[in-house]
Amino acid sequence: MSPPPQPDFALLKEAADWATTLHFGTPSSAEHDAFERWRGQSPQHEAAWARAQSVLSAFGQLDGDTGKGTLHALERMRGRRRSLRVLGALLLAAPAGWLAWNQAPWREWSADLATVTGERRTWMLPDDSRLVLNTASAVNIAYGEAERRIVLVEGEILVTTHADPSPVFRPFIVETAQGQIRALGTRFGVRRVDDDRTRVSVFEHAVEIQPLDGPPRILQAGEQADFDAFGVRAGKPVDAGAALWEHGMLVARNMRLAEVVAELGRHRRGILRCDPAVADLRVSGSISLGDSDAALALLAQTMPLRVARITPYWITVAPR
């Protein structure tokens, strides 16, 4: 089966125009007829309209005030041009699937343990090992007679293992979509970077990484490496502050601003963007993940930046 047609930039702008007319205006019968003719011109036109509908639907379904706040802001905007510009940005920069996942309340009932966006939580496991979930993370726990297994569904975890109280030794394993990590008496972090890659950071002792279809590799304390289903990439030293997210802090050492903003974006609801014009500015210092508004204000005070807010849930870090 061939993939569905993808709308181009011009059609997405037209879809935003129609969405503005139909959702926020009072369209006439002639406008309804014209819309149906536009929509029926090609599969690409239909795909563009489907994107517009899915984005609006996603904002309407998000938990809390995230979606409603954005839609209400659009409705309050005076002038078609401004509301059209914002809605067009939503179509191009905020795929509905990502929005829905970023706020997804289903984590709370589809995984054994989960956190929502902006939340960090600690659990003691049945063997007294300690498990910390970062923002928007989810795991399943599969302890059995032969092994202690954690399945990372999404997000990032920090594990501090404890000696197994079972009379029969059971290895401690973290499973991801790309393979598994076996603890060798250790403290380590595992992060799902994207659909194809997992990052492992070792803070004490060592772990063994076993990709699904590649050779295993031992990672020692102080090392960090990414792996996919076919192998482990070259390792590098892990930053000493890499686990401070547990305490709501990001320690930046000559980090690109785009990376800082992306990390802050993981910990807040809505959309946080970095303008490409300032993406390569370098940031050093301790930054609060628990209060991202304060972190953004501090960046704006100490760097040639401004924080542009369309709504509390749609923010861009831009040049001053």
CATH number at residue 221: 2.60.120.1440
> Which of the four pLDDT bands, split at 50, 70 and 90, describes residue 6?
low
- Same domain for 227 and 176, yes or no, is yes
What confidence tens digit (pLDDT) does each residue in 137-153 have?
999 999 988 999 999 99
- Same domain for 232 and 282, yes or no, is no
Residue given tokens 């050492």 in the structure block: 253
Evaluate if residue 89 carries a pLDDT over 60. Answer: no
Q: Report the mean per-residue pLDDT for the chain.
A: 82
Percentage of residues in the chain having pLDDT higher than 90: 56
What confidence tens digit (pLDDT) does each residue in 198-243 have?
999 999 999 999 999 999 999 999 999 999 999 999 989 998 789 9
What confidence tens digit (pLDDT) does each residue in 232-241 have?
999 899 987 8
- Judge residue 90's burial from the number of C-beta atoms within 10 Å of its C-beta, 0-12 exposed, 13-18 middle, 19 or more buried: buried
- Same domain for 29 and 87, yes or no, is yes
In a domain, 4, yes or no: no
Q: What is the pLDDT of residue 198?
A: 97
- Same domain for 20 and 87, yes or no, is yes
Q: What is the pLDDT of residue 139?
A: 94
Cα angle 65, 118, 83 (rounded to 5 degrees) comes to: 35
What confidence tens digit (pLDDT) does each residue in 150-197 have?
999 999 999 999 888 888 889 999 999 999 999 998 999 999 998 899
- Same domain for 255 and 301, yes or no, is yes
Q: Which residues of 160-199 are buried (b: 16+ CB within 10 A; e: fewer)?
A: bbeebeeeeebebbbbbebbbbbbbebbbbbbbeeeebbb
Cα angle 287, 101, 265 (rounded to 5 degrees) comes to: 15
Q: Give residue 154's domain range.
A: 118-237
Evaluate if residue 77 carries a pLDDT over 90. Answer: no
Q: What is the pLDDT of residue 103?
A: 45
- Total number of domains in the chain: 3
Choose the final residue of a domain: 206, 237, 268: 237
In a domain, 107, yes or no: no
In a domain, 2, yes or no: no
Q: Which candidate, 205, 229, 231, places its Cα nearest to that of 219?
A: 205
In a domain, 23, yes or no: yes
- Same domain for 166 and 84, yes or no, is no
Token pair in block for residue 5: 């047609």
In a domain, 1, yes or no: no
Q: What is the pLDDT of residue 88?
A: 52
Evaluate if residue 287 carries a pLDDT over 80. Answer: yes
- Judge residue 158's burial from the number of C-beta atoms within 10 Å of its C-beta, 0-12 exposed, 13-18 middle, 19 or more buried: buried
In a domain, 242, yes or no: no
Averaged pLDDT, 99-119: 66
